[in-house]
Amino acid sequence: MTDIINIVPMSKQHIGQIAKIESDSFADPWAGQIFYEVLRVPDCATFVALRSESVAGYLILRRTPPEIEILNIAVKESERKKNIATALFSALFEYAKAQGANEFYLELRRSNGPALALYKKLGFEIDGYRKNYYENPKEDAILMSLKLKTGKI
């Protein structure tokens, strides 16, 4: 197995693997169709981490500079704790710099310890909570953001 991870934009050929990672990762996964729709939305950008030709993880965002909202991120179970999410965020921060975006927003389930630890490590701070935001199962959301000084991304 190669150690090299390439980060590329999502294309249709990745979506089968992505949909599998998605359904393995979330109690309320996005339907596969949503990933095809993302490809058609001009304000969305996508990052797919590939090990050889296999999808190891993905990140999807919506941009409205200076803001970027992270809509989805997941890493394949067997690829976790190998800095794949960190690599996806590095690619995102490079992209944001080129787009003139320096504010990042996301939300997560209150019980999602690994994601909370990841976002805190990246410098995100908790802005608040949204009661019963998620369904299946019902759960509060933690709202987080990261604001970087322009030029210091």
Binding site for ligand COA (CB under 6 A): 25, 73-75, 80-86, 108, 112-115, 117-118, 121
* Strand-strand pairing, 139-147 and 5-8: unpaired
Q: Which of 22, 79, 107, 139 is catalytic?
A: 107
Known catalytic residue at 94: no
CB of residue 57 to ligand COA, shortest distance in Å: 6
Residue with tokens 């890493």: 75
Is the CB of 61 or the CB of 115 nearer to ligand COA? 115
Q: Quote the distance between the C-alpha of residue 119 and its chain's center.
A: 11
- Cα separation, 43 vs 99, in Å, equals 11
Determine whether 134 is an active site residue: no
Of 10 and 75, which has the nearer Cβ to ligand COA? 75
Q: Is 52 left (phi over 0), alpha (psi -120 to 50) or beta?
A: left
Smallest distance from the beta carbon of 114 to ligand COA, in angstroms?
3
Q: Which residues are catalytic?
A: 107, 119
